[in-house]
Homo-oligomer: A and B are copies of this chain.
């Protein structure tokens, strides 16, 4: 019971001091979340109040079902972009069907997340590698920033890919609205300044770092209030500055989206990707924060929390939500102690929805676009690209394909291509594993690669180590490798396949081992195994392998050499090798 309703753990012992801390954090998060919610709804192609709706009930649902103490859920940039891409494929922005599609996406994502929780499918998220996620988020950041440029310029421009966006923007550069441009560029510059410079300034002025940070986080509110004032004062809306316009005040509309099988089916693949991306983003934020306070997040339970939040979003006219990095950090830093902070934030947003919406009428879209641009450009992580390029070309390839596909094909294509390529590269690598002919490190019972270490070997015994599980993709490679190694050594009497890195021998590889044993046997060469792991030997014993196998299975390679080739290494060889060893590297 407690596993499924984590709030039962903290709610019964909820204290006044915790309440005070949660309340303070909620006020700060609310101030940050109101403009973000409006902006991300715009990014998703939805009316701004939908963003507010997505920031009320989902927070309460997560407080009940989520395991993180400090995660703040709501609309986030990347998921908003994915929502826009998916809904845009089935309906035109602004249509009733588009809005319905967004709600259905939230419902489907919620159901998928809950199903994944029940079926314990959280591990699926592990197949999104860090380079793919990092590339996806960086590329989404660039794409989102580009998509907001039209609001800064005050020109109409559509387009889902970077190429389309640029193609639509370039011809309209000349017709940019000067007032919109002033508000947009001014807001971007101001928000960047707030983000990067204001905090050090305030600290220099004597504020405590935490307080300075909190004030800096309210920057968007200042920009919003100022620009609303400017629009009203100078009648800028009549001069072509696009404003948010009438926002319906009042409670979110409660109810289930209508069941439209074709629409649900069309949106299903996108909902799966939104669920996975949202889950990965949310869990990594939650784990980062939990580790700082030595708390624990249970990924399979997080699925329930996020699923409940998305279902709640769907039932209250919202769109897909997930745990956001920036707001969760603010919540954490502002001192939130329990998910009650989320409930208080929900009340705050509800109050804003009921009372403040008339004020947002004159809010220029350009300032919302500026908020988005400043937020998402911090997601673009060039350092990660460089680091991954240096470390592994295969990982970089997966990252690069993800980035290029997101920018020039689409967000969903980006994830699918990245995951597909990273899995394909892993499979390709395991299909051509590293192989080492090994010899004994003199003076030890340890065996290492003859190419890297000065080790003792014997001409009548070949010790070969395959550094991979033996399975269908490398079964033929295994056969070819051993046949080639044997063909070039006429003095050979025994071959030992050293298996410390073999974690699995599947049916295909088993047939290959039988073929090798038979073929070497026909050539008068003994074939043996060493250092075979427990689970692998158990599996071999289940088959009839040992009824034909004439070789030995040695516990250690040392034992194999002692038994099969006791005369080597000779003391003289050993001394020589020991001298050489002084020149060898320590590892490798």
Contact = CB atoms under 8 A, between A and B. Distances in A.
Interface of A: 123, 126-132, 291, 299, 387-388, 390-392, 394-395, 422-423, 426-434, 436, 441, 444-446, 448-449, 451-452, 467-469, 471-477, 500-504, 506-508, 510-511, 519, 531-535, 537-539, 542-544, 553-556, 558, 586-588
A127 B543 contact: no
Given A131-B508, A506-B392, A510-B391, A434 B555 contact: no
A434 B503 contact: yes
A25 to B, nearest CB: 25
B126 A503 contact: no
A553 B587 contact: yes
A126 B588 contact: no
Given A392-B539, A506-B129, A506-B394, A444 B475 contact: no
A446 B558 contact: yes
Given A123-B428, A130-B507, A436-B534, 4 more contacts: A131-B508, A299-B476, A391-B543, A451-B534
A131 B508 CA distance: 7
A588 B130 contact: no
Contacts of A452: 534
B503 A444 contact: no
Contacts of A448: 555
Contacts of A501: 500-503, 533
Most buried by B among A291, A434, A555: A555
A105 to B, nearest CB: 26
Contacts of A473: 126-127, 129, 426
A520 to B, nearest CB: 12
B445 A555 contact: no
Contact of A533 (B130, B426, B434): B434
A434 B510 CA distance: 19
Contacts of A468: 469, 503
A154 to B, nearest CB: 42
Contacts of A519: 291
A53 B508 CA distance: 36
Given A445-B444, A542-B391, A586 B555 contact: yes
A149 B359 CA distance: 79
B390 A556 contact: no
A259 B304 CA distance: 55
A477 B126 contact: yes
A534 B471 contact: no
17 contacts: A123-B431, A127-B427, A129-B506, A130-B507, A131-B508, A395-B506, A395-B508, A422-B472, A427-B427, A436-B533, A444-B445, A445-B558, A446-B555, A452-B534, A500-B500, A532-B587, A555-B587
A394 B508 CA distance: 12
Given A129-B472, A445-B558, A537 B587 contact: yes
Most buried by B among A441, A446, A510, A534: A534
A132 B506 CA distance: 12
Contacts of A427: 127, 423, 426-427
Nearest to A479: B287
A403 to B, nearest CB: 15
A378 to B, nearest CB: 19
B126 A431 contact: yes
A244 to B, nearest CB: 41
A434 B391 CA distance: 26
A111 to B, nearest CB: 23
Contacts of A588: 533-534, 537-538
A304 B496 CA distance: 35
